[in-house]
Structure 1
Amino acid sequence: MESDRLGRRVWGLFTPYRTSLVIIGVAVLLSSGLGIITPFLTQAVFDHALFPVGGGGVRIPLLAWLVGGMVAVPVVTALIGVYQTYQTTLLGNRVMADLRSRLFEHLQRMDLAFFTATRTGAIQSRLANDVGGVQSVLSETASSILGNVVTVVAALIAMLLLSWELTLVAVALTPLFVLLQVRVGRVRRKLAGRTQESLSDMTAITQESLSVSGVLLTKVFNRQAYEVGRYRDENARQVDLQVRQAMSGQSFFAVVQTFMGITPALVYLVAGFLIAAGVGVSAGTIVAFTTLQTRLLFPTVNLLRVSLDVQTSLALFGRIFDYLDLRPRIVDAPDARTLDPATVTGRVDLESVWFAYPPAPPLGVVAAPVVAQAADGRGTDGAGTDGTVTWAVRDVSFTVEPGQLAAIVGPSGSGKTTLSYLVPRLYDVNRGRVLIDGRDVRGLTQASVADAVGMVTQDTYLLHATVRDNLRYAKPDATQAEIEEAATAANIHDRILSFAEGYDTVVGERGYRLSGGEKQRLAIARVLLKDPRILILDEATSALDTTSERLVQQALETATRRRTTIAIAHRLSTILGADVILAVDGGRVVERGTHAELLAKGGLYARLYTEQFAGGKVEARCADGVLFTDGATLVGRRTGEPAVPGAGDGGLTA
């Protein structure tokens, strides 16, 4: 059964702490065993000290010893209980810390496709809400179950020793209660799963709308009221689910407690019939029995409640294990080799590469694991076999020699960025091969590929930390001199020194305290500090103004002399001097050559260049028409519709 399998996996979380479990078990046995002694002492007080059989009056010495025992037992039990609570709390929190760390570590190993298909808020909810929801189970439930079971068993044995007839009355309906508890547990488990899904949705809404980007979006489009309403609706759903979960089974427990409450009266009634029938039941026996019955009542109710809590927590454990069971698409091969940074030349080859992004799951559903492609390039996750796959890259082959600058250009959605993701193995190709220094990246360790390849993306991500910490993320042991050298190469050093706190300036969430150009130059400095043999620039200068772009281009020209560089470019001015330019359209390389060669062909590249530069003149729309500039000089103005690039100067006015 699913519950049994989950139970075994949960129990497996405790196996590293066997010694602690033994200590807790001994403490539970001692405290539970000592608790059973008191009723027998009570029986002895009545039958042998206060009202001794055969008369003779009160036996003071015996009474003193018995009363002393009745005082000592709870004192010792309390001391053991304190130590037991410490051990169980320590054990539970250690197990929960292990679970959190294990889940976080596993998520770090997941591939990029998983994160593009899964809401960040849903991931955060698994780490926070789901793991936090099982804390009480991990820290209290195990010892509670053991303690209550021992108490119930010991109490039943003691009750049987006192009177098996009265014991039957006390436990008559217990089997029925157990069956009802199982049914209530199933309902609560379903409600718990839906409650956690609602919490996940609330976390996702919070993450999306209260991040810096989310707040900016809502303010720009005046959607604060919409976001508040969305959160209120989910919050109301959460309240409803919490109430339903809390109230489920309350009627059941009311029946249980009612029966347990009236059982002593039934015991007195049955005892009266037994005495009338001549069965020897002493007053001490009846008092001791009712005392034991009280000790049986609370552990039994607690066991039923704990059982329901376990059923509820299994839903949370199931959600956690769903993530832990995911297999990343990108994994090291068993015989993966390591690239030696000292010997990497930086040659990059793509051989007949085909790639399609895996389909995204429905909103809120965990991305399903797939089987990673074999390193020989044959077969993958089935992409393209049914004829419905949208290929992002189609049969692409090219070579970038060590030290070369290769530029990839093309219209939006043509596959430029996708190609850049394949080289550092952020995705595995569906067909063909990607090679570094003649070795398939799938046959290399991911860590060594990451060391060999550096990347500056168009969406610059900075940590909410200081400038120095952001730069050292690429090289934790970097000296201040190395940091400043990289910053100088990216033309950001002087700007950093102009900040009040210099390199100790906190850049803010995602670097929002910096301008776009400053963030981009800081990202370039970070990758230069890493000093990889292969450098990928994905629109690396797209956020820069003209002056900053010129400064960074000068720095990059120096930096790229010692490494292979693949530049994804929208602004063609940044790649005019590239050794080879690849024009991509529809996932295919349709043209390749130098700037001059591609202009002479008059194909896609020439069209992109003409559209961007208008034959050497840059077009800009203004209030009363279209301006044409050549550099910084205004060369003409056309009123009305913009001129067709390259159509001549007809209609221009000075």
Structure 2
Amino acid sequence: MAEPMSRGRGGRPGSISPESRQADKAQLADAPVSLRRIGRLFSAHRARLAFVVVLIVASSLIALAQPFLIKRVIDVAIPQQDVSLLLTCVLLMVGIAVATSAIGVVQTWQSTTVGQRVMHRLRSDLFGHLQRQSIGFFTRTRGGEIQSRVVNDIGSMQSVVTSTATSIASNLTTVVGTLVAMLLLSWQLALVTLVVLPPAVVLTRQVARMRYAVTAARQRKLADLHVQVEEGLSVSGIQLTKTLGAAPTLARRFEQTSAELVDLEVRSQLAGRWRMATMNIVFAAVPATLYLAAGLPATSGGMTIGTLVAFVALQGALFRPLMGLLGVQADVTASLALFSRIFEYQDLPVEIDDPADPVRLGRVHGEVRFDHVGFGYGDAPVLHDIHLTVPAGGSLALVGETGSGKTTLASLVARLHDPTTGAVRIDGVDVRDLTLDDLAATVGVVTQETYLLHASVRDNLLHARPDATDAEIEAACRAARIHDVVTALPDGYDTMVGSRGHRFSGGEKQRLAIARTLLRNPRILVLDEATSALDNETEREVQAALDELAEGRTTITIAHRLSTVRNADQIAVLAHGQVVEHGTHEELLLRGGRYADLVRSGLSTVAA
């Protein structure tokens, strides 16, 4: 018998380690799951599920006919040399094997189809729901955790239908049917089985628990060993060890961990051998007890050889499904824990969503007004009573030291966050009254951190506007001064950019991001240090293109270079989340205040 393996989070429920079982119980305690809610996921597949149950029951009942055929062969066909009966029984045995195999294939097809469709719906709904979450959710949540729930947990949930649920139905049907068949064959031997089998099952489960505990301890010690190897034999680890003279200490730690692992490996192997030995004893002792009962005059009751052989065959088929049913609680707990983890994410409130009654802007002029805006992350205030107006087609530059709130203020225009007080208005309409699609079409954002998809250059640009023509793509790239770079690539616009755009330099990625935004032709541009990754020459080219394209557009720029700031219609100097100065470049220099100090110190110190 194969040894049970501990289940990782992405594994199927079945052989579950103690750590996983405790984690599942803790998950359900924190976020209980409604069985009715789970049932609704499968409501559209009721007919198919009912068909699967019928197949399971049919397969189990058909398989129970095999021992009765054996009894007829041994007791009647062979002793009486009844060739016709013998052929009939043999053909029926083969037919039963063919029928149960065919039913098993159909059952797997149907149950897997249901599982995959439910999984597809859950996966798609969860992905869409998470996309609607605010930026704050993703900044406070580990990326690996999100991926685990969307991919691993939902993938593991298929086993609820194709493994856990079907195995429960199959095992239950087999156990009940086998017990009934045993009573029909011989109530005396059935009574012996009911006396002998429970202690054997309990003993086997106890040995299995012992092995789980030893295996869990071994896995923890192996993890410690891997960490020590990774930390002690990496380039950085070796350098640190040599400079600190810590090699002897690390070697002693490694030797101690390895020695402890030796003991655990021996105990694990012995526990596994004890489990196998227990199973072998059970499989030998129970039939032996039946043979003894059949041979004693007090319990034989005139039993035939065929009855005994058939009964032993039935008893052999009873042990495994009975063990499966006894372990069903852990399987169900593991399955419910998966649902709990997914429902937790599905139930997350959408902080930034479309309004119930959205307002349509019609023809967008592009005036942006910060109407006494305040914002904070939790209890930490970031912006205080910001009141600024950028006329349609005008430009505003935001400057200030690190942490002054420039990026946060600009992000409110695209509604990456919502102000806690006041409002951001476009053409007099609160951005919270616009649909997110309308707002995205109106406001284009280019940040200092450029993200490119692992796709072709063309696909990255079409991500911003799927219906763009090749001519429009080329025009946007020419405007961003990136067209010549793209056409020089081996496959031009069909060249793969690689993971996170590794094929391109920082400046080239920045220009692709600018082209991607310009392809949407937004009336309002938010440039969060959009030229920060460019060298002086490239920056001048891109800035010239941006200046030309900014004609007639409203532009809000966060910049760290004086050349970008001086040309703005108005400049707002932020400090500690407040506008401390406001005016043109010349006006602010004449005042000799904070802006003048920033200019004298070199405006590069005001990076966001």
Sort the TM-score into its range (normalised by shorter chain).
0.7 to 0.9
- For residues 179 and 388 of structure 2, the distance between their equivalents in structure 1, rounded to whole angstroms, comes to 80
Which of 311, 320, 329 is 1:289 aligned to? Answer: 311
Relative distance call for 1:171 and 1:401 in structure 2 (3 A) is: farther
SS in structure 2 of the partner of residue 392 of structure 1:
strand
Structure 2 counterpart of 1:43: 71
Q: Whole-Å Cα distance in 2 between the matches of residues 355 and 250 of structure 1?
A: 64
* Structure ranking higher on relative contact order (CA contacts 8 Å, 6+ apart): 2
Secondary structure in structure 2 of the residue aligned to 1:607 = helix
Task: State the match for 2:471 in structure 1.
Answer: 481
* Pairs within 5 Å for 1:132-531: 132-172=155-195, 177=201, 255=278, 258-273=281-296, 275-276=297-298, 279-304=301-326, 308-333=330-355, 335-340=356-361, 342-357=362-377, 383=378, 389-531=379-521
Q: For the residues of structure 1 that align with 2:106 and 2:381, how far apart are their CA atoms?
A: 63
Asked if 1:603 is matched to 2:596, the reply is: no
Residue pairs, 1:531-610, within 5 angstroms: 531-610=521-600
Structure 2 distance, partners of 1:223, 1:471, is 42
How far apart, CA to CA, are the structure 2 residues paired with 1:82 and 1:166? 34
Deviations 1:97-130 (A, max 9, x none): 4443333333222221111122223333334443
Equivalent position of 1:74 in the other structure: 97
Query: What is the deviation of 1:255?
Result: 4.9
Instruction: Specify the SS of the correspondent of 1:573.
Output: helix
Structure-2 separation of matches of 1:253 and 1:452: 69
Asked if 1 retains the 8 angstrom alpha-carbon contact of 2:368 and 2:425, the reply is yes
SS in structure 2 at match of 1:40 = helix
1:348 maps to amino acid: V
Where 2:455 maps in the other structure, the secondary structure is coil
The 1-side partners of 2:375 and 2:466 are apart by 34
Q: CA deviation at 1:414?
A: 0.5
The C-alpha deviation readout for 1:334-365, integer Å capped at 9, x for no partner, is: x140544x4222222222222122xxxxxxxx
Change (3 A) 1:116 1:419: same
Check 1:16–1:28 CA distance in 2 against 1; reply closer, same or farther (3 A cut).
same
Moved more, 452-461 or 125-134: 125-134
Structure 1 residues 41 and 5, CA, compared in 2 at 3 Å: closer, same or farther?
Answer: same
SS of aligned partner of 1:25: helix
- Asked whether the equivalents of residues 207 and 275 of structure 2 are also in contact (C-alpha less than 8 Å), the reply is no
TM value normalised by structure 2:
0.79
Q: CA 1:114/1:584 → structure 2, altered by over 3 Å: closer, same or farther?
A: same
What one-letter code is carried by the residue in structure 2 that aligns with 1:140? S
Q: 1:580, 1:592 within 8 Å by CA — same for their partners in 2? A: yes
Matched position secondary structure for 2:292: helix
Check 1:158–1:87 CA distance in 2 against 1; reply closer, same or farther (3 A cut). same
Residue 133 of structure 2 contacts residue 351 of structure 2 at CA under 8 Å; is this kept in 1? Answer: yes
User: What is the CA-CA distance between 1:314 and the residue it aligns to?
Assistant: 4.4
Letter in 2 for 1:493: H
How far apart are the structure 2 equivalents of 1:248 and 1:567? 68
Question: Which residue in 2 is equivalent to 1:102?
Answer: 125
* Cα distance in 1 between the residues matched to 2:506 and 2:92: 78
Counterpart Cα distance in 2 of 1:596 and 1:540: 24
Describe the shift of the 1:170–1:8 C-alpha distance in structure 2 as closer, same or farther (beyond 3 A): farther
Aligned to 1:32: 60
Contact 2:446 2:517 in 1 (8 A): yes
Give the letter aligned to residue 594 of structure 1.
T
Conserved? CA contact 1:93–1:138, under 8 Å = no
- Say whether the 8 Å CA contact 2:457–2:496 is kept in structure 1: yes
Output the aligned Cα RMSD: 4.1
Partner of 2:6: none
Alpha-carbon deviations, 1:306-332, whole Å to 9, x = none? 654444454444434433333332223
Deviation readout 1:242-275 (Å, 9 max, x if unpaired): 99999999977875664354212222233344x4
Q: Using the TM superposition, give the Cα deviation of residue 183 of structure 1 relative to its aligned residue in structure 2, in angstroms.
A: 13
Change (3 A) 1:5 1:126: closer
Deviations 1:263-289 (A, max 9, x none): 12222233344x436834333322222
Q: Structure 1 residues 438 and 43, CA, compared in 2 at 3 Å: closer, same or farther?
A: same
% of aligned pairs identical? 47
With over 3 angstroms needed to count, the CA separation of the structure-2 counterparts of 1:31 and 1:9, relative to structure 1, is same
- Aligned amino acid, residue 68 of structure 1: L
Distance in 1, matches of 2:211 and 2:44, equals 33
Question: Match for residue 121 of structure 1?
Answer: 144
Alpha-carbon distance between aligned partners in 2 of 1:278 and 1:546, rounded to the nearest angstrom: 101
1:624 alignment counterpart:
none
Q: Is the 8 A contact 1:96 1:138 kept in 2?
A: no
What is the CA deviation profile of residues 26-54 of structure 1, one whole-angstrom value per residue up to 9, with x for unaligned ones?
22222111111111222233344345xxx
Give the Cα–Cα distance (whole angstroms) in 1 for the partners of residues 417 and 505 of structure 2. 31
Deviation, 1:533, is 1.7
Q: 1:563 to 1:465 in 2, by over 3 A?
A: same
Deviation at 1:13, TM superposition (A): 4.1
Partner AA of 2:363 in structure 1: T
Distance 2:41 2:268 in 1: 26
Q: Which consecutive aligned stretches of 4+ in structure 1 deviate over 6 angstroms post-superposition?
A: 173-176, 178-189, 223-226, 242-254
TM-score, normalised to structure 1, is 0.74
- Helix, strand or coil at the partner of 2:173: helix
Whole-Å Cα distance in 2 between the matches of residues 102 and 260 of structure 1? 48
Q: 1:583 to 1:89 in 2, by over 3 A?
A: same
Cα distance change, pair 125–22 in 1 and its aligned pair in 2 (3 A): same
Mapped partners of 2:270, 2:151: distance in 1? 24
Distance 1:432 1:172 in 2: 77
**C-alpha spacing 1:404/1:250, structure 2 compared with 1 (3 Å):** farther
Q: Is the 8 A contact 2:560 2:603 kept in 1?
A: no
Change (3 A) 1:278 1:130: closer
Cα distance in 1 for partners of 2:560, 2:82 equals 102
Match of 1:649 in 2: none
* 1:584 positional shift: 0.4
